[in-house]
């Protein structure tokens, strides 16, 4: 496990949690998820070019990301969405949101003990990007279902 990747992952997790548990305007923009996914894909690809990675390693890491997607759906449901006085739509998670994000990180880093050393931490930003993107999609769907966001504004744009 790369120490630098773990430190970066923990810093990103801390930043994501701080954003999740404070009141934020709900927008349909998903730049954070997209940026993290692209940087994470580049890091993951770079790792595979310099280290031996088997098909089983890729399968287990993919399974971890799939579990992360499931957790994203669950923790998206812990995010409160409401309309403010002036029509602005807001979102805010709580302690359950933070715990589920930490659990997701933990299960993904656990992959490092089962795959090529360092592959789990090398794919960490890819994991975060996909999870944040999925969470945004679910939260927007929830807001749209409640009539807080018009269907034309609920699409995912970068």
In the prediction, which pLDDT does 109 show? 83
Distance between CA atoms of 140 and 64, rounded to whole angstroms?
24
In the sheet that 89-92 helps form, which strands lie side by side, from edge to edge?
A: 24-25, 89-92, 80-83
**For helices 95-110 and 55-76, angle between their N-to-C axes, nearest 10 degrees:** 180
Distance between CA atoms of 23 and 3, rounded to whole angstroms?
32
In the prediction, which pLDDT does 2 show? 63
Cα–Cα nearest to 80, from 68, 67, 97: 97
In the chain, which stretches have pLDDT less than 70? 1-2, 5, 152-158
In the prediction, which pLDDT does 149 show? 86
Q: Structural domain boundaries of the chain?
A: 3-153
């Amino acid at each position: 496990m790369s120490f630098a990747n773990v430190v970066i992952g923990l810093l990103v997790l801390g930043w994501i949690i701080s954003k999740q548990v404070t009141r934020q305007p709900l927008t349909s923009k998903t730049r954070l998820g997209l940026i993290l996914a692209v940087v994470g894909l580049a890091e993951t690809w770079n790792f595979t070019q310099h280290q031996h990675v088997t098909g089983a390693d890729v399968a287990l890491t993919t399974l971890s990301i799939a579990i992360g997607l499931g957790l994203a759906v669950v923790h998206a449901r812990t995010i409160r969405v409401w309309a403010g006085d002036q029509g602005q739509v807001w979102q805010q998670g709580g302690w359950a949101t933070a715990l589920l994000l930490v659990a997701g990180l933990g299960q993904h880093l656990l992959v490092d003990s089962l795959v090529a050393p360092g592959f789990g931490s090398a794919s960490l930003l890819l994991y975060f990007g996909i999870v944040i993107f999925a969470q945004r999609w679910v939260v927007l769907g929830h807001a749209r279902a409640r009539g807080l966001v018009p269907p034309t504004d609920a699409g995912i744009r970068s």
